[in-house]
C-alpha cells in the first residue's frame, strides 16, 4: 500500500522536511478477512515501527489513539518508494531461497525534495511457510542509470510491473519508454549464498536506496534566494527541482505560455489551483493542482518571478501588488 504524501507541506509545524521525505511507510500488508489497517485515520511509521494517528485526526507523529486497535503491516518500507507491483515467485530457476518469496517493483518517489528521490529498484522479501523470514533485500538496482536522482525525470528507466516466465525467469517492465528486462539465473544454485547476498546488501547504502542524512543530504542547505526557497518548498514536490515535471502527470514549467504569458492567469493558477484537461507544450494533462492561497502575496510574487526567470524562461517579474489585486477580486 502506498502511504500518503505531504506531511510537511500540510503540517509544517509538526513534521520536518526530512520526516516528510522518509515517512509515512509504504506498507506490506497481509489482508485478512475483517482486518482493519487504519486508512485513512492511521499511518505506519517504519522508523519507530508503530501505527500512529494521522495529523488530520489530531495526530502529531507520536499519538497512537485509535490506531492501537489497527493491524500492523508485515513489513514497513521507507516513504514514497511507490510499490507498483508484487509477485510471489513460484519458479525453480532461481536459487531455492527465492521460492515463495515476494518481489516488489518500486517505481520510485517524486516528492522527496529537498532530499534526493528514492526507490527505483526491485526488492525481494524472503518467505518461509507463508511467513516473512528475513529483512527485505535489494534484488535489482540500476534502472535509473544513476544513483543520485534529484528529479524524477533524471531516472532513465523506472521499474513498474513484474511477471514470471514459464521457465522461472523474472520479467520487469519500465514506465518511461516501455523497456522490458528478463532476469535469468545462470550461476550454480548449490553455491549461491552469503557472498552474492553481501553485494546486494551493499546496494542498500547507495543514494537512491539509503535513508538521506537530515543535514548532509539536504539539497537546500546554505542560503537560497527567497523565490527559489518558496519554489523548492511548495512547488518542486510536484513540478520537480528542474521545473520539468513528471511525464504524464505533472506539466513542466519550461517554455510554457502558462508561465511566461498572462500574469493574471498565472497568479490565478497559484491562488485557486487548476483542474481539468490542459495542454502544455503539446502534451495533455488532466490532473489537479491544489490552491495555494496560504502563501502570502510576497511569497507568490517571489515564486512566480523565480519561475518566469528560470527553467529557460525569460519573462518580466510579478509584483506583490499584482497578486494582491487578484486576491482581492477572488475574495469579493
Applying CB under 6 A, which residues contact ligand HEC? Answer: 234-235, 237-239, 250-253, 256, 258-259, 266, 269-270, 274-276, 278, 280, 285-290, 292, 303, 307
Q: Indicate the residue among 3 and 73 with the shorter CB distance to ligand HEC.
A: 3
Minimum distance of ligand HEC from residue 102's CB (angstroms): 31
Can you tell me the distance from the alpha carbon of 124 to that of 110, in angstroms, rounded to the nearest whole number?
22
Minimum distance of ligand HEC from residue 132's CB (angstroms): 34
Can you tell me the distance from the alpha carbon of 284 to that of 251, in angstroms, rounded to the nearest whole number?
9
* Residue among 66, 65, 72 at smallest CA distance from 35: 72
Contact 36/81 with Cβ under 8 angstroms?
no
Can you tell me the distance from the alpha carbon of 84 to that of 74, in angstroms, rounded to the nearest whole number?
17
Q: Indicate the residue among 144 and 259 with the shorter CB distance to ligand HEC.
A: 259
Q: Indicate the residue among 30 and 229 with the shorter CB distance to ligand HEC.
A: 229
Contact 183/93 with Cβ under 8 angstroms?
no
Q: Indicate the residue among 29 and 269 with the shorter CB distance to ligand HEC.
A: 269
Can you tell me the distance from the alpha carbon of 98 to that of 273, in angstroms, rounded to the nearest whole number?
47
Q: Indicate the residue among 87 and 303 with the shorter CB distance to ligand HEC.
A: 303
Indicate the burial class of 180 (C-beta count within 10 angstroms; 0-12, 13-18, 19 or more). exposed
Can you tell me the distance from the alpha carbon of 119 to that of 101, in angstroms, rounded to the nearest whole number?
20
Can you tell me the distance from the alpha carbon of 171 to that of 165, in angstroms, rounded to the nearest whole number?
7
Distances (CA, A) of 258 to 23, 161, 221, 237: 33, 34, 30, 19
Minimum distance of ligand HEC from residue 236's CB (angstroms): 8
Minimum distance of ligand HEC from residue 281's CB (angstroms): 8
Q: Indicate the residue among 99 and 292 with the shorter CB distance to ligand HEC.
A: 292
Minimum distance of ligand HEC from residue 146's CB (angstroms): 24
Q: Indicate the residue among 91 and 290 with the shorter CB distance to ligand HEC.
A: 290
Collect all residues with Cβ–Cβ distance below 8 Å to 62 and sequence separation of at least 6: 52
Can you tell me the distance from the alpha carbon of 251 to that of 244, in angstroms, rounded to the nearest whole number?
7
Amino acid at each position: 500500500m502506498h502511504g500518503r504524501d505531504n506531511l510537511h507541506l500540510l503540517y509544517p509545524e509538526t513534521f520536518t522536511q526530512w520526516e516528510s521525505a522518509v515517512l509515512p511507510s509504504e506498507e506490506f500488508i497481509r489482508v485478512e478477512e475483517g482486518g482493519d489497517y487504519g486508512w485513512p485515520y492511521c499511518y505506519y511509521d517504519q522508523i519507530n515501527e508503530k501505527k500512529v494517528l494521522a495529523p488530520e485526526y489530531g495526530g502529531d507523529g507520536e499519538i497512537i489513539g485509535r490506531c492501537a486497535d489497527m493491524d500492523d503491516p508485515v513489513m514497513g518500507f521507507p516513504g514514497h518508494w511507490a510499490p507498483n507491483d508484487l509477485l510471489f515467485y513460484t519458479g525453480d530457476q532461481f536459487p531455492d531461497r527465492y521460492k515463495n518469496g515476494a518481489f516488489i517493483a518500486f517505481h520510485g518517489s517524486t516528492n522527496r525534495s529537498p532530499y534526493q528521490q528514492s526507490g527505483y529498484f526491485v526488492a525481494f522479501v524472503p518467505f518461509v511457510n507463508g511467513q516473512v523470514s528475513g529483512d527485505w533485500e535489494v534484488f535489482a538496482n540500476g534502472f535509473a542509470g544513476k544513483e543520485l536522482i534529484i528529479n524524477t525525470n533524471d531516472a532513465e528507466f523506472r521499474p513498474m510491473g513484474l511477471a514470471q516466465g514459464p521457465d522461472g525467469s523474472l520479467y520487469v517492465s519500465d514506465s518511461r519508454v516501455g523497456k522490458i528486462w528478463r532476469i535469468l539465473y545462470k550461476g550454480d544454485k548449490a553455491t549461491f549464498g552469503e557472498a552474492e547476498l553481501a553485494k546486494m546488501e551493499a546496494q542498500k547504502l547507495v543514494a537512491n536506496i539509503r535513508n538521506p542524512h537530515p543535514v548532509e543530504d539536504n539539497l537546500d542547505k546554505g542560503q537560497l534566494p527567497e523565490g527559489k526557497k518558496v519554489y523548492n518548498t511548495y512547488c518542486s514536490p510536484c513540478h520537480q527541482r528542474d521545473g520539468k515535471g513528471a511525464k504524464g502527470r505533472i506539466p513542466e514549467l519550461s517554455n510554457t505560455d502558462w508561465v511566461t504569458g498572462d500574469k493574471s492567469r498565472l497568479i490565478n493558477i497559484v491562488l485557486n489551483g487548476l483542474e481539468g484537461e490542459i495542454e502544455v507544450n503539446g502534451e495533455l494533462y488532466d490532473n489537479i493542482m491544489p490552491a495555494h492561497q496560504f502563501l502570502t502575496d510576497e511569497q507568490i510574487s517571489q515564486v512566480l518571478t523565480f519561475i518566469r526567470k528560470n527553467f529557460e524562461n525569460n519573462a518580466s517579474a510579478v509584483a506583490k501588488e499584482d497578486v494582491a489585486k487578484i486576491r482581492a477580486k477572488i475574495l469579493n
